[in-house]
Amino acid sequence: MNDRVGGSRTLSGIPVEQLNEAEATAELERLAAEIAEHDRRYYEHDAPSVSDAEYDALRLRNSAIEARFPNLKRADSPTERVGTAPSGKFSKVRHAIPMLSLDNAFSDDDVRDFVARIRRFLRLGDDALLRITAEPKIDGLSLSLRYENGELVHAVTRGDGTTGENVTANAKTIDDIPARLKGSPPDVIEVRGEVYMTKEDFADLNERQETAGKQTYVNPRNTAAGSLRQLDASVTAERPLKFFAYAWGEVSQLPADTQMGMVEAFKAYGFQTNPLMDVFDSVEALLKHYHHIETERGALAYDIDGVVYKVDDLSYQERLGFVSRSPRWAIAHKFPAEKAMTTLKAIDIQVGRTGAITPVARLEPVTVGGVVVENATLHNAEEIERLGVMIGDTVIVQRAGDVIPQILGFVPEKRPVDAEPYTFPAKCPCDLATDIVREANISGAESVVRRCSGEFACPYQRKEHLKHFVSRRAFDIEGLGEKQIEAFFDDAMLPIRTPADIFTLQKRDDANALQKLKNREGYGEVSAQKLFDAIEGRRTIPLERMIYALGIRHVGEATAKTLARAYGAWGAFEAAALQVADGDTDTREEMDALEDIGAAVIDSVAAYFTEPHNRDLVEALAAELTIEEAERPAADTAFSGKTIVFTGSLERMSRDEAKEMAERLGAKAAGSVSKKTDLVVAGPGAGSKLKKATELGIEVIDEDEWFRRTGRSS
Ligand code: IVH
């Protein structure tokens, strides 16, 4: 970096206007190498060694020199790669069918419950045949490969499940991914599976890195992810990546009617499939296979973190459908968590979005199952008491998958003489030092949860609200994450203290915005403009994300989606929320009739909209946005928008399945009959609901008629 000219000054310090041609050539060479190195660090290790501002400055200087000496522009010039800079590296592709995640089971009993739930849902007796597959859960990253007429047309990462990144060029370099399918595949088929790196290839790669004096990688999974997301496909080509096929997205004509049959078809098309996959017809046989795979785990060539079970019969899968983001017909049985010992250095207090106070253990960094752990949750004061830990103790930490690490206990023999007991604070650590209160739970007893009573006056809670607001499943603004919220929140010149502030950021600062941001650590002109662009890109937002982003207590993603679908438009939702807040009982009842929405949700929606500060906040925010109307699940069925009540005993389907069917047809399944009910499906033994329906003159049909109308024969 210290190219000296004339022995007195470094080249990088010479203003562009003063460079001569020889100096410019040398500078362009240096910049190309340096920028390429920063890109490599950023993309391969997720570990940039310079701030965005410094990085931007390098690129700007490079462009300025090229503008002055166009003939000196290099073939590998970084400006050729501007469109693929960090934020918009790969083009985005929307998945024809979302890529979902799996629910987890942690014990044999969880698996028994899973199978029992499925039997109940499908109304299968204990003796009816129910086949379930079991296969290793590969610790890699999932990829969706779309083939049209047997040719690979694109490869897309999972992304947020709805939209992923187009990494086709990179996927084509992987031997296990055929460019052309063998045999006779359907016209359109999206094959999904896991990209991974073997333990041996990972060790070899790290050895090469070390010999070359380069940074080594943490684990095979992260390396595989970094390798697949390379800008330059020739780098991916040098990485020994592999692929197992185990699932699918859009398919024009299914080649089989079982999970096992589908995987066999993938094999015939030329994919690798996992040899440890098999099909079983009892829970005990599934568990036996799980324990078998668990013993084989260490000897396998690749990392796995559990076993995935899937209902084999695809018509059962279809009926079972999904809950939120995971299929009801599959579950991941995770291997037990890994443990390690380390020192408890301190206990800090964290204030959450709802004011909940959580003690967090600060640990001497320790590697647990391949990941460095420095913090662990201690849940609440009772937990600290139960564990009996003191500051300075040697503690046992456990990490299971993506769950926050936990402390299991301490080692008494190792307690140092100067170990200090911990006293739970009575005041919030925020400037206001508000009282920490223990709230009563429903039965009136004191709850273990302590909250800061400061609500919106507590800066911690406001900050947490903002962090939630910009989080991935909410507004998901690229370049505006937790770290940036922390900085903007306390910024004197250009603060973000409410969600609306995000959208007024640029206009509040007029022409000076870029300059001011530039002066702040971490921002250069390019990155500031990128941030403004990212914010503009989110000015239009789907209704369900908007509702979820508000961070109303008990309103998670699934609930936000239900509310969005029920009310359709922001205006309708807001009106209902305000009416509920003002004590309107009709609106409350209407909300209560929605699937999975009960008193807890309604009370917190009411509480949220009762608070004047929140009303102002929401109003200011909505004024900045275009809120898209919610998608109705199936717009054109005879049942769209209808409210249906199922009552009495149903014989051909469970109550859950009935509700699920109704929802898929675009209807709402309600729990009680009112003037708003459109149809009642009554089975034997129906009582008061049937009576009320008759009184109100609502159409009543039986289960067979329901099946006739919905077009499902069996
Ligand atoms: S099935 C609709 N099978 O686990 C369900 N997933 O936690 C589709 N994974 O995103 C997933 N091995 O990346 C399935 N044998 C396997 C798997 C597997 C690893 C990953 C996959 C998925 C995640 C869900």
Instruction: Spell out the SS3 assignment of 145-198.
Output: EEEECCEEEEEEECCCCCEEEECHHHHCCCCCCCCECCCCCCCEEEEEEEEECC
Task: Please tell me the total count of domains within the chain.
Answer: 6
What are 155's two structure tokens? 């490869």
Nearest Cα to Cα of residue 220 among 233, 203, 208, 234: 203
Q: To test the ligand 1 pocket, which listed residue (114, 157, 194, 274) has its Cβ within 8 A of the most ligand atoms?
A: 194
Same domain, 493 and 394: no
Of the ranges 195-204, 533-542, 664-673, which one carries the lowest mean pLDDT score? 664-673
Residue nearest to atom 12 of ligand 1 (CA): 137
Together in a domain, 114 and 162: yes
For residues 233 and 222, give the distance between their C-alpha atoms in angstroms, rounded to a whole number: 17
Could you report the per-residue pLDDT of 99-111, keeping only the tens digit for each? 988 998 989 999 9
The residue with tokens 């006779």 is 184
The predicted pLDDT at position 226 comes to 84
CATH of the domain at 495: 1.10.150.20
My answer on whether 148 and 175 are in the same domain is yes
Q: Ligand 1: which residues within 6 Å by Cβ?
A: 100-102, 135, 137-138, 142, 158, 194, 246-247, 308, 327, 330, 332
Does residue 470 contact residue 485 with C-beta atoms inside 8 Å?
yes
CA dist 93 and 165 (Å) reads: 6
Task: Classify residue 85: in a domain, yes or no.
Answer: no
Write out pLDDT tens, residues 194-219. 999 999 999 898 888 778 777 677 77
pLDDT at 302: 94
- Per-residue model confidence (pLDDT) at position 517: 63
Domain final residue, candidates 506, 538, 570: 538
Structure tokens given for 679: 């149809």
Q: With both helix axes pointing from N to C terminus, report the angle between 570-581 and 557-567 in degrees, rounded to the nearest 10.
A: 110
The pLDDT of residue 655: 84
Nearest residue (by CA) to ligand 1, atom 15, is 137
Q: Residue 116 falls within a domain, yes or no?
A: yes
- What per-residue confidence (pLDDT) applies to 82? 38
Average pLDDT over residues 475-504: 89
Distance in Å, CA 40 to ligand 1 centroid: 28
pLDDT at 81 exceeding the cut of 70:
no
Q: From the CA of 101, how far away is ligand 1's center (Å)?
A: 7
Domain boundary pick from 422, 453, 484:
453
Q: Which pLDDT belongs to residue 40? A: 64
Q: Is there a single domain that holds both residue 389 and residue 522? A: no
Summarised one tens digit per residue, pLDDT across range 631-647 is: 755 556 788 888 999 99
User: Does 169 lie in the same domain as 47?
Assistant: no
Among 114, 246, 279, 309, which is best to mutate for testing ligand 1, by the most ligand atoms less than 8 A from CB?
246
In a domain, 7, yes or no: no
Whole-number Å distance, alpha carbon 136 to ligand 1 midpoint, is 9
Query: Higher confidence at residue 482 or residue 524?
Result: 482
Whether 370 and 413 map to the same domain: the answer is yes
**277 and 195 in one domain?**
yes
Average pLDDT over residues 245-273: 97
Dist CA 34 CA 50 (whole Å):
11
Any idea what the CATH number is for the domain that residue 48 is in? Answer: 1.10.287.610
Range of the domain at 553: 542-628
**Residues acting as catalytic residues:** 137
The domain boundary residue, chosen from 520, 538, 556: 538
- CATH code assigned at 342: 2.40.50.140
Is residue 242 within 8 A of residue 196, CB to CB? The reply is yes
Residue located nearest, by CA, to atom 24 of ligand 1: 101
Taking only the tens place, the pLDDT of each residue in 550-606 is 999 889 888 999 999 889 999 999 999 999 999 998 899 889 888 778 888 999 899
Given pLDDT bands bounded at 50, 70 and 90, which one contains residue 92?
Answer: confident
Residues 122 and 231 in one domain: yes
Whether residue 483 sits in one domain with residue 345? no
Cα–Cα distance measured from residue 468 to residue 550, given in angstroms and rounded to the nearest whole number:
8
* pLDDT for the residue numbered 626: 95
CATH code assigned at 182: 3.30.470.30
CA 621 to CA 498: how far, in whole Å?
8
Ordered DSSP codes for 111-156:
HHHHHHHHHHHHT--TTS---EEEEEEESSEEEEEEEETTEEEEEE
pLDDT digits (tens, 9 = 90+) for 312-346: 999 999 999 988 778 999 999 998 877 889 999 99
Average pLDDT, stretch 288-307? 92
What's the 660 CA to ligand 1 centre distance in angstroms? 23
Res 188: pLDDT: 95
Nearest alpha-carbon partner for 281 in 122, 135, 127? 127
On whether both 193 and 309 belong to a single domain, the answer is yes
Q: Using the mean position of ligand 1's atoms as its centre, give its distance from the Cα of residue 308 in Å.
A: 7
Residue 313 lies in a domain: yes
Give nearest CA residue, ligand 1 atom 2: 100
Atom of ligand 1 nearest to the CA of 137: 12
> Region 511-536: what's the mean pLDDT?
73
**Based on the domain organization, do 579 and 706 belong to the same domain?**
no
**C-alpha span between 611 and 619 (Å, rounded):** 13
Per the prediction, the chain carries an average pLDDT of 86
* pLDDT the model gives residue 149: 95
Task: Say what the pLDDT of residue 9 is.
Answer: 46
Is 701 inside a domain boundary? yes
Provide the pLDDT for residue 108. Answer: 95
| Residue 137 covered by a domain | yes
pLDDT digits (tens, 9 = 90+) for 48-63: 566 655 676 787 788 8
In this predicted structure, the answer to whether residue 376 has a pLDDT above a threshold of 50 is yes
Using DSSP, state whether 622 is helix, strand or coil: helix
Instruction: Flag whether pLDDT at 72 surpasses 70.
Output: yes
Q: Do both 583 and 546 map to the same domain? A: yes
* Enclosing H/E stretch for 701: strand 699-701
CA of 246 to the centre of ligand 1 (A): 8
Could you tell me which residue, 439 or 391, shows the higher pLDDT? 391
The half-sphere exposure of 420 on its side-chain side, counting CA atoms within 13 A, is 8
| CB 463 within 8 Å of CB 486 | yes
8 three-state secondary structure: coil
Ligand 1 pocket test, pick from 135, 138, 250 with the greatest ligand atom count within 8 Å of Cβ, gives 138
Residue nearest to atom 22 of ligand 1 (CA): 101
Pick the atom of ligand 1 nearest to 277's CA. Answer: 15
Residue identifier of the C-alpha nearest atom 17 of ligand 1: 137
DSSP string covering 353-417, please? TT-BEEEEEEEEEEEETTEEEEEEE--SHHHHHHHT--BT-EEEEEE-TTSPPEEEEE-GGG--T
Report how far ligand 1's centroid is from the alpha carbon of 307 (Å).
10
Residue with CA closest to ligand 1 atom 16: 137
Residue 580 CA: distances (Å) to CA of 396, 419, 442, 548, 620: 48, 52, 20, 18, 20
Model confidence at 713, in pLDDT bands (50, 70, 90)?
A: low
Please check whether residue 495 lies inside any domain of the structure. Answer: yes
Q: Is residue 570 part of a domain?
A: yes
Instruction: For a ligand 1 pocket test, name from 228, 308, 311 the mutation site with the most ligand atoms within 8 angstroms of its C-beta.
Output: 308
SS3 state at 223 = helix
pTM for this structure?
Answer: 0.59
